[in-house]
Amino acid sequence: MSQKVEQIERTLAAATARLLARATDAYSVCAETLVTRISAAVDKYLLRDSPDPSTADLNDFVDKLQADDLCLIVACEQGNEKAWTDLVERFGSTVRSAARSVSANEEGADDLAQSIWAELHGLRIREDGKPASKLAYYSGRGSLAGWLRAVVGQLAVDQHRKQSRLMQTEDDAEFDRLIQKNDQPWSGHAERLNPEIEVSDKRASADLQKALTASIAQLSDEDRLLVKLYYFDGLKLREAGAILGVHEATASRRLMRIHTDLRKQVEESLKEEHGWTRPETERAFSEVALHMEADIEPLLMGETMVKNESEMTS
């Protein structure tokens, strides 16, 4: 075991030397400091899924690290002023742009960007007396610009959560009203005068909604993520496919298959739990879908109008 560890350490030391050689400006970062950082990244990403990596895997992992970005961040973490100057100069616009995209206005974006730089410097002091900076979490695996955008995004979510908690306490009654509205089952038969039919249809819609939600939860992680991205987050197939790492056509085929799977699962669930027959299931599907079609049509038209407007402006 110790031989294996020693072999990994030797491999990482050699790979770190190559990384330093690759860096355009190493900012006087020593190999020992860098090896520690790289070893942490290997533990986090490589050894978790493959505890016994080969030398080739190790070399491949280290050779794909962003040498310049990693040296810059390590130097900043060590308090290198030149590195900080370069970091702000090179990535100031990136941070500002990311903050602007998640903020409601310019002031919010400025505040967020300032918060990011403060987080990167480190507001708290660690046990070893050094500031607890977010820079310690950059592994060098991805680009530094992307990592900074992710940091901005996380900080924006944190700020939004804090604001939401404050707003929730103030507008509790309003939220309760919204939740109650969302808890209503799908039904487009409110205008019906027959209360028995209305109650029956509402119950059928509620059962259908419950069965569909349960069926979505039973999907595989990737299928469920595709459904969430496409239907819940409103992404296009091309965008959802890009997140999943597949082509738009592949995402489309997967979605068609998911439709089939969901339909089967919902029908089986309704049959087993509520004793629905197939004609009853089909009728419930068609009626609720008919109502949804009428209900969603204005939204789709709105999406089309927004799309057309954006195309015209571009």
Partner 1 sequence: MKASEKNEIDLLLRALGRDAAGARASSLQAKGESGVHLDADELNCYAEGIVSSAERARYNQHLADCESCRQIVIDLVPAAGVARRYEVSDQKMGWNWREKFSALFAPSVLRYAVPALTLTAVIAIAIVALRQRQHTEFVAQNRTQTAPVVSSGGEVQTLTTKNGEQPTSSPNQPQQPLAGAKDKNLSGTEKVDALRQSPVAENKPPNTDRAAQGFIQPGQSAGVAESKPIFAPEPSPAAPPPAPGYASSDADNLAEVRKQKAEEDLQKRRREDSKSQPRDENEVARPTASAKGGPSRSNNQGVAGLSSVMSRTGSKDEKAAGNEVETRRVSGRLFHRQGNAWIDADYASGRATVNVTRGSEQFRSLTADEPALRSIAEQLGGEVIVVWKGTAYRIR
Footprint on residues 99-138 left by partner 1 (CB under 8 A): 101-102, 134, 137-138
Q: Pick the stretch among 29-37, 80-88, 190-198, 217-225 that binds partner 1 (CB under 8 A).
A: 217-225
Angstrom CA distances, 27 to 34, 77, 93, 118, 132, stand at: 12, 11, 22, 22, 21
241 lines the binding site for partner 1 (CB under 8 A): yes
165 lines the binding site for partner 1 (CB under 8 A): yes
208 lines the binding site for partner 1 (CB under 8 A): yes
Q: Which one, of 8, 30, 9, lies nearest residue 19 by Cα?
A: 30
Q: How far is the CB of 267 from partner 1 (least distance, A)?
A: 10
263 lines the binding site for partner 1 (CB under 8 A): yes
Let me know how long the chain is. Answer: 314
Q: Which of 3, 260, 310, 313 binds partner 1 (CB under 8 A)?
A: 260
If binding means CB under 8 A, how many residues of this protein chain bind partner 1?
A: 77
b/e per residue 55-65 (b: at least 16 CB within 10 A): eeebbebbeeb
Q: How far is the CB of 53 from partner 1 (least distance, A)?
A: 11
Which of residues 124 and 129 has its CB atom nearest to partner 1 in the complex? Answer: 124
60-79: which residues touch partner 1 (CB under 8 A)?
Answer: 64
Binding-site string for partner 1 from residue 276 to residue 295, where x marks contact by CB under 8 A and - marks none: ---------xx-xx--xx-x
Which of residues 6 and 172 has its CB atom nearest to partner 1 in the complex? Answer: 172
141 lines the binding site for partner 1 (CB under 8 A): yes
Phi, then psi, of 285 in degrees rounded to 5: -60, -50
180 lines the binding site for partner 1 (CB under 8 A): no
